Amino acid sequence: MTPSKIVCVGRNYAAHARELGNELPQQPLLFLKPPSALLRSGEPIVLPPDSHQVEYEGEIAIVIGRRARHLSEAEALACVAGYAPLNDVTARDLQQLDVQFTRAKGFDTFCPVGPFGEAPLGDWRELEVRCRVNGVERQRGNARQLVFGIPQLLVFISRVMTLEAGDVIATGTPEGVGPLQDGDEVEVELMGVGRVINPVRASAPAA
C-alpha cells in the first residue's frame, strides 16, 4: 500500500543531536518525506548530482494500520500495524544549506523501507535498529533511547494530522550517520523483524 505520507522525526536520539551540533528539541521536530521517495529492498539508492554528501540514517519506522486522529497515550498503540526498518537517506549538504528539509530528504529513492507485519508486534521498547555499510556496523539504536517514545509520537503527530492506514512514521536516527558512495551497499535491520538492503549508485550523467 502506498502511504499518504511519511512523517519523520528529527533529533530524537540525544547522541545523534550532539553529533550534528544540535540542541534537543522541546517537542518532537517533524518533517515529511514524499511517498515518491519510497524504495524497496534490492533497488538502488541513486545519488543526485545536486549533492556531494548523501548520508544513511537507519531508523525504526511505525506503519499505521487504521485511521487515527487525536489519539490518547493509552490508545495510541492500537493503531500500529507493525514496525519496519527504514533508511532516511539525507543530502546533508543540502539540509545544512536549506532552511528546511524538503529537498535534502525528498529525492527519489531516498526512503528505503523494509518489510513489516511478519513478526508479532511485541513491546515497542524492545525494538532495536542496526545500520551497516558494506557489512560494517555504523549505527545501533534502541527504542528505549528515543527522546520521545513511540506512544508519545503517535499522540503528538495525530494532534496535527490524521494518520491513515499505510502511513509511515520514521522515529529518528541514532548516532553514527555517515556518507554513502557509488558502489556501497547499505543495510538497515530491525532486529527480529527484517532488513532493507540497497545498493548505492551515482546518477547517470545527463545525456
Closest to Zn ion by CB, 57 vs 128, is: 57
Nearer to Zn ion, 105 or 158 (CB): 105
Q: How far apart are CA 192 and CA 136, in angstroms?
A: 19
Name the minimum Å distance from CB 120 to Zn ion.
26
Kindly list the distances between the CA atom of residue 86 and the CA atoms of 22, 40, 127, 179, in Å, as whole numbers in the listed order: 22, 10, 13, 16
The least CB distance from residue 16 to Zn ion, in Å, is 9
Query: What does the alpha-carbon distance between residue 205 and residue 202 come to, in Å, rounded to a whole number?
Result: 9
CB 207, min distance to Zn ion, A: 33
Q: Give 61 or 71: the residue with its C-beta nearer to Zn ion.
A: 61
Residues of the shown chain interacting with Zn ion in the complex, contacts defined by CB under 5 A: 57, 88, 173
CB of 115 to Zn ion, least distance (A): 20
Residues 6+ apart with CB under 8 A from 110: 33, 37, 39, 45, 88, 89, 90, 91
**Residue least distant from Zn ion (Cβ):** 88
Report the residue number, 51 or 173, with the smaller CB distance to Zn ion: 173
